[in-house]
Amino acid sequence: MGKTATDWVLFVVLLIGALLMSGPFVWMIATSFKPAADVFQFPPTLFTADPQVENYVRIFTTIPFGRAMANSLVVSVLVTLLQLITCSMAAYAFACLRFRGREALFLIYLAALMVPSQVTLIPNFILIKTLGWIDTYQGLILPYAFSSFGTFLLRQYLKSIPAELLEAARIDGASHAQIYLTIVLPLAKPALGALAIFTFVAQWNNFLWPLITTTKPDMQVAIVALATLQGQYNTDWPLLMTGSVIAIVPVLLVFVFGNRAFIAGLTTGAFGGR
Amino acid sequence: MARSRVRLTRVARAEERAAWLFLAPSLVLFAIFTAIPVISAFFISFTQWNLFNEVTWVGLGNYIGLAHDEIFAKVLGNTGYFVLVSVPVQIALALACALALNRGLKGQTFFRVVYFLPVVTSTIAAALVWAWLFNSNFGLINAGLSLAGVTDLPKWMGSTRWAMPAIIIVSIWQNLGYAMVLFLAGLQNIGKDVHDAAALDGATGWDRFWHITLPLLSPTTFFVLVISIIGSFQVFELVLVMTKAGPANATNTLVYYIYQNGFQFYQMGYASAAAMVLFLIVLIFTLVQYKLQRRWVHYG
């Protein structure tokens, strides 16, 4: 088989693969426009003869889904901002400053990447409960305000800044805070962007922690509200699919617009971590 | 000479002070939410506590309990089954897709984005639509199978035999794109000139794949393998939405069991002991792979 013939076969195989990968999304969207009775037809049809937007109204009236979306947005944005601050500050210290214990502390931060999140789940839950922080934003946000992964990602990037540049600024009398704010942060924009997108997506999709630390519907994030909805309306597939569509739209938008930065961050973080 | 040394140490000391100031926020957060909890989890695993009564020290009691717990044995078996099937299939498919895309086919960006969409999608939302697709009475998958002439349709999430395969299929669908993107990045690090030189020497496509691409790609493969194994041991959300560990614990997995014991039965000590088992498994895989890596990974 010649090179072009092989390429065509592969192209068709990849196209079929793309259909399989995107199929569930198409099915999700198609079902969200179906009237409730339509879903119990066999064999099922992809497009209903009677499309309607009723489900998109119902989802906001049966449960406080608007509030849940707002909660997700508040938590994800604040976690992202806090991580950008705490991780970039730590990364600046690790990459650009000399101090005793630097390597040891960095190793400890790195070792934390090997700890599965379920290990710290119970002690953190007990802590948040003891503080009376169940059903609060601080309980949802603060445990994620710093990450070893983010520090590592930014440190790798900051190490590429020429030391002479920072040295020159020092000689001109700039303080460390000035260097960090006016030289390092602007130069680190691509890495900060990658971390921001990565953190936002991870936090939006985060499930187990918000599940166990919220009890009131008003404090649930969108993904937890979706899982709760399944418990209450487990055969109302159009409603469940509508909730799913709405809950994944923000992340898909962020990903489609920032996919280059996202994947760059993912692969740098990944290969650097080896 | 003496003066400049004094100045140097003063500068160094100022730099050291600045470093700790920059590290302060991360140190506080890391101590409160990571370091202290890891140590606490270890101690909690030696106690019996339901959050309301007094904490009782039970020594190795929880671990002995786990060793005699028939459900826990089943949970470990299920988790092992899930990891053993999903990881190799996912890696093989991801590598095949990456190799195909790396030939410079048309629409590379399009394919990369489409294959990656499930990775960024909430697992809960993904599991919901797949639960609907796998629905044994009205789902699209059984409709397709029956159109294809299958008469003995699987009951999927309702059957002890097919529930786990259903979860495995969804997991592969969701994680394929991540492994593929990592493989693509790895392939792009292998210079094209290496291949051109081998082609000039008369090596066929398969020869080049086995003797050049695969060995040079092994650091990536190694990394994808470790990440996939560790991630697969933590399967949880798919189980929660699709089967709730049923039927008859056929899909109960390690993290689901930790969740059940901790947050449904409020047995904090027992759940922590199970979490320590997970920690140990992850640690062993990380270390074993790290050792093996030296033996069979060729850094180009």
pTM exceeds 0.80 for this model? yes
Q: What is the pLDDT of residue B4?
A: 56
What does the CA dihedral B65, B67, B69, B70 come to, rounded to 10 degrees?
Answer: -170
A117 backbone dihedrals φ, ψ, rounded to 5°: -60, -25
**Closest chain B residue to A203 measured between Cα atoms?**
B122
**Is B148 within 8 Å of B154 (Cβ atoms)?**
no
Structure tokens at A105: 């502390």
**A4 in Cβ contact with B104 (< 8 Å):** no
Strands (E), chain B: 47-48, 56-57
Q: Find residues 54-73 of chain A whose CB sits inside 8 Å of chain B.
A: none
Q: Inter-chain contact B26–A89, Cβ cutoff 8 Å? A: yes
CB of A27 closer than 8 Å to CB of B133: yes
User: Which 3 state secondary structure label does DSSP give B209?
Assistant: helix
Rounded to whole angstroms, the Cα distance separating A96 from A98 reads 7
Q: What is the C-alpha separation between A94 and A110, in angstroms, rounded?
A: 12
Cβ contact (<8 Å) for A28 and B255? no
B20 close to A (CB below 8 A): yes
pLDDT at position A195: 92
Instruction: Give the confidence band of B1 by pLDDT, cuts at 50, 70, 90.
Output: very low
User: Model confidence at B265, in pLDDT bands (50, 70, 90)?
Assistant: very high
The ipTM is 0.91
Averaged pLDDT of chain B = 89
Residue of chain A whose Cα is closest to the Cα of B26: A86
Using an 8 Å Cβ cutoff, are B235 and B82 in contact? yes
A28 touches chain B (CB under 8 A): yes
B262 three-state secondary structure: helix
A230–B241 CB contact, under 8 Å: yes
Tell me the per-residue pLDDT of A8-36, one tens digit each, with 9 for 90 and over.
Answer: 888 999 999 999 999 999 999 999 999 88
Spatial distance between the Cα atoms of B236 and A227, rounded to a whole number of angstroms: 13
Residues 207-266 of B with CB under 8 A from A: 219-220, 222-223, 227, 230, 233-234, 236-237, 240-241, 255, 258-259, 262-263
Contacts of B223 in chain A (CB under 8 A): 270-271, 273-274
pLDDT tens digit string along B153-176? 999 999 999 999 999 999 999 999
What are the two backbone dihedrals, phi and then psi, of residue A174, each rounded to the nearest 5 degrees?
Answer: -75, 140
Q: Name all domains of chain A by residue range, CATH numbers in brackets.
A: 26-272 (1.10.3720.10)
Between A271 and B99, whose confidence is greater?
Answer: B99
CA distance linking residue A55 with residue A59, whole number of Å: 6
Quick: pLDDT tens for A175-220: 999 999 999 999 999 899 999 999 999 999 999 999 999 999 999 9
CB contact set of B274 (below 8 Å; sequence gap of 6+)? B66, B72, B254, B257, B258, B261
**Is B65's Cβ below 8 Å from some Cβ in A?**
no
Round to whole Å and give the CA distance between B136 and B163.
Answer: 11
Q: Do B138 and A247 touch (CB under 8 A)?
A: no
- 3-state secondary structure at position A75: helix
For A270, other C-beta atoms within 10 Å of its C-beta total: 19
A-chain CB neighbours of B43 within 8 Å are: none
Q: Which residues of chain A have pLDDT under 50?
A: 1, 272-274
B103, B219, B279 member nearest A116 (Cβ): B279
Question: How many residues are recorded in chain A?
Answer: 274
Most A CBs within 10 A among B22, B79, B171, hence the mutation to make, goes to B22
Query: For the residues B266-277, what does the mean pLDDT come to?
Result: 96
